[in-house]
Amino acid sequence: ELKVEQNPLFLSMQEGKNYTIYCNYSTTSDRLYWYRQDPGKSLESLFVLLSNGAVKQEGRLMASLDTKARLSTLHITAAVHDLSATYFCAEASSTGTASKLTFGTGTRLQVTL
Amino acid sequence: NAGVTQTPKFQVLKTGQSMTLQCAQDMNHNSMYWYRQDPGMGLRLIYYSASEGTTDKGEVPNGYNVSRLNKREFSLRLESAAPSQTSVYFCASKPGQGFTDTQYFGPGTRLTVL
């Protein structure tokens, strides 16, 4: 059974601070996805990481993948209030006829002024 | 281009009632998925359809049935709703095998079972 664990589950941080969200997954997958969800809204794709050592950056967010450690990180630089949301990582796996995503429990980020 | 649409947006049912959640996509995607989202549990896969004419069980299929009506539409049916099925339901789609795994999500249906 695939298992994806995120920590922390809740993160309250001040504007301007840096922090990292961790995502541990259970298989040797080399495909890891990050999504963002605003309260009451749907999920929006943020990053696609497709190989060991992959690093993607968008604004104040940077995601990386270490397949040997089965670890992905989402680093937040100089947080701003607009980044307040829930962030999910998801591990991709294939069943032969389709690929599936197994999601972590999410990290709710609250950026305070 | 509406992407993935879901109806209804909200629904309240009594225990034992049945209903069908509708999902449609206009992106010509092959694969479609149904998830439920509960507080503290992330998204859990209920059923998926790799392509038109095929469906498979996900992590939590009990109490649900699905129909892949055509390439565009994938419906989720609750035959006899239970309070444990109170949740937010998301439909998602993606191009198909061999393409990106990135799934595109609909706006969700918030279901309450009393």
Length of chain B: 114
User: Cβ–Cβ of A98/B103 closer than 8 Å?
Assistant: no
CA distance A110 to chain B (A): 16
Would you say residue A108 has pLDDT above 80? yes
Would you say residue A105 has pLDDT above 80? yes
Q: Is B36 on the interface with A (CB under 8 A)?
A: no
pLDDT over 90 for what percent of chain A? 78
Tens digit of each residue's pLDDT (9 = 90 or more) over B77-104: 999 999 999 999 999 999 876 667 789 9
Query: Residue A1's pLDDT is what?
Result: 72
User: What is the DSSP secondary-structure string of chain A?
Assistant: ---EEEE-SEEEEETT--EEEEEEESS----EEEEEE-TTS-EEEEEEE-STT-EEEETTEEEEEETTTTEEEEEE-S--GGG-EEEEEEEEEE-SS-EEEEE---EEEEEE-
Q: What is the pLDDT along chain B (114 residues), one digit of tens a residue?
A: 789 999 999 999 999 999 999 999 999 999 999 999 998 788 999 999 998 889 999 999 999 999 998 999 999 999 999 999 999 999 999 987 666 778 999 999 999 999
User: Which residues in chain A are closer than 8 Å to B105, comparing Cβ atoms?
Assistant: 42-44
* Touching B: A residues 70-89, CB under 8 Å: 88
Four-residue CA torsion sign, B49, B51, B52, B56:
negative
* Tokens of residue B63, six digits: 């109490």
User: Which residues in chain B are closer than 8 Å to A100, comparing Cβ atoms?
Assistant: 33, 45, 48, 58
Tens digit of each residue's pLDDT (9 = 90 or more) over A80-96: 999 999 999 999 888 76
Q: Which of B37, B74, B103, B110 to mutate to test the interface with A (most CBs of A within 10 A)?
A: B103
Would you say residue A104 has pLDDT above 70? yes
Q: Which has the closest alpha carbon to B24: B83, B82, B70, B89?
A: B70
Would you say residue A68 has pLDDT above 80? yes
Q: Which of A100, A102, A105 to mutate to test the interface with B (most CBs of B within 10 A)?
A: A100
- What Å distances lie between residue A98 and A78, B32, B48, B49, B57, CA to CA? 39, 10, 9, 8, 12
Query: Residue B31's pLDDT is what?
Result: 92
